[in-house]
Structure 1
Amino acid sequence: MKAGRKRAFDKEVVLDKAMRLFWANGYSGTSVANLSSELGINTSSLYGTFVNKEQLFKDALAHYQKQYVEVNYRHLVEPSDATLKARLQACFYGLIELFTSDETPRGCLLVKSFNESDSVAFPEDAVVYMKKLGTETQQTLTGLFASDIAKTDMPQGQTAQKLTNYLLSVSYGLAVQAKVGLVEDELKSVLDHALNSIFGYS
């Protein structure tokens, strides 16, 4: 009995390249022919590994989240003696550096994909996955703000949900502004202003 043929490519490397194509061109703007050509593998190998374009896109989103986003959110989920303001700044500074890096397409893959998700051709499974990530982020931030409100004298009328919605709106805007060309220092200044509006200038 013949042994099965060994895959001639590194799946993680191919997945990272596919993620960058979707990040640069969007889901609809990236065809299977584009993927096959840019990844250097034939269509049958592509389908044999990732099933179809829809699954490859979902895998690319998961790869983006794990390799590029979670490294920054560790500042929020890992134990730390730093203030919440400092932890939020570290997290979102890291995201800004990602959004403006010369090593990857500018902006945020998830924000770009959400903006495209009302397209008829956009895979529903990917929408479900992105909404799940969004819910998890909201829950993390809401929990942190709720704890901080209980421990400090934050401005009257603030709620954890309100602060979370505000900061996520700022983050969304930072990704869009990075895409249109604002540089890292400008975006960090915007983030600092947003944090100062929540915590004060201390």
Structure 2
Amino acid sequence: MARTREFDTEAAVSRAMELFWARGYEGTSVRDLTRHLGIGQGSLYAAFGDKDGLYRAALEYYRTTFAAAALRSLDEGADARSAIRTMLVERVRIAAEHDGRGCLMINAACERVPQDAATRRTVRDVLGASQDALAEVLRVAAERGEIAARRDPHTLAAFLVTFLNGLLVSSKITPDPRALEPLVEIALATLD
């Protein structure tokens, strides 16, 4: 008879995400995880397979919480420029919190890609979703005359995602959103 799981897996994944986000994949041992999560090694392996399985679950949790919230914020802006500004500034603020831990997805890309194909796919999917969402906001904004229509929305969205990725790396070096926010205004000038 199989034993019933004695812990909340979603809470464990959330806590593991925080640990991976703070220390990185390589800097987090299975022992660190079991201590932080308050579970035994056998329970970790039974629930997630191995450290890689828990890492992938943590990346997916980040995707469905933090990354999804950033995309939802694009729909909440009064106009495209305000929505994009809010999204960029909010992402920098989150990345700069907690002594500049950065963005878990960008950290994963820098640490695990190219040797980890699963991480590459996850990061590519998250960045692709961001680019697609931005492209749609930009396309609609150009049709409404809110922004200049002289640039392809997909290319402009790719630029903004690339800019954001660099900004998120910079937030690890300069974990002060106020110092990085003026750069957002320069990026937004590409919408003119």
Per the TM superposition, whether the score is higher than 0.5 is yes
**Percent of residue pairs bearing the same amino acid type:** 26
What corresponds to 1:28 in structure 2? 26
Amino acid at match of 2:87: C
1:108 and 2:103 correspond: yes
What corresponds to 2:95 in structure 1? 99
**Residues in 2 aligned to 1:126 and 1:89: alpha-carbon distance in whole angstroms:** 28
**Residues in 2 aligned to 1:81 and 1:31: alpha-carbon distance in whole angstroms:** 41
What are the equivalent positions in structure 2 for 1:18-97 lying under 5 Å apart?
Answer: 18-76=16-74, 78=75, 80=76, 82-97=78-93
What corresponds to 1:198 in structure 2? 190
What corresponds to 1:135 in structure 2? 128
**Residues in 1 aligned to 2:191 and 2:32: alpha-carbon distance in whole angstroms:** 47
- CA offset digits 1:85-118 (Å, max 9, x no partner): 011112122211211123x862100001111233
Unaligned runs of 5+ in 2: none
Contact 2:143 2:149 in 1 (8 A): no
Helix, strand or coil at the partner of 1:107 = coil
**Residues in 1 aligned to 2:146 and 2:172: alpha-carbon distance in whole angstroms:** 36
- CA offset digits 1:60-92 (Å, max 9, x no partner): 01111222221222122x3x5711001111212
**Residues in 2 aligned to 1:101 and 1:127: alpha-carbon distance in whole angstroms:** 25
- CA offset digits 1:43-76 (Å, max 9, x no partner): 1000111122121111101111222221222122
Amino acid at match of 2:105: L
Contact 2:21 2:104 in 1 (8 A): yes
**Residues in 1 aligned to 2:101 and 2:81: alpha-carbon distance in whole angstroms:** 26
* Residue among 144, 154, 162 paired with 2:137: 144
Amino acid at match of 2:10: E
Unaligned runs of 5+ in 1: none
Contact 1:92 1:191 in 2 (8 A): yes
Q: Which has the higher helix share?
A: 2
**Residues in 2 aligned to 1:54 and 1:83: alpha-carbon distance in whole angstroms:** 41
Contact 1:20 1:105 in 2 (8 A): no
Closer, same or farther in 2 for the Cα pair 1:105/1:185, shift >3 Å? closer
Helix, strand or coil at the partner of 1:28 = coil
Helix, strand or coil at the partner of 1:100 = helix
Closer, same or farther in 2 for the Cα pair 1:56/1:158, shift >3 Å? same
Closer, same or farther in 2 for the Cα pair 1:118/1:199, shift >3 Å? closer
Moved beyond 6 Å, runs of 4+: none
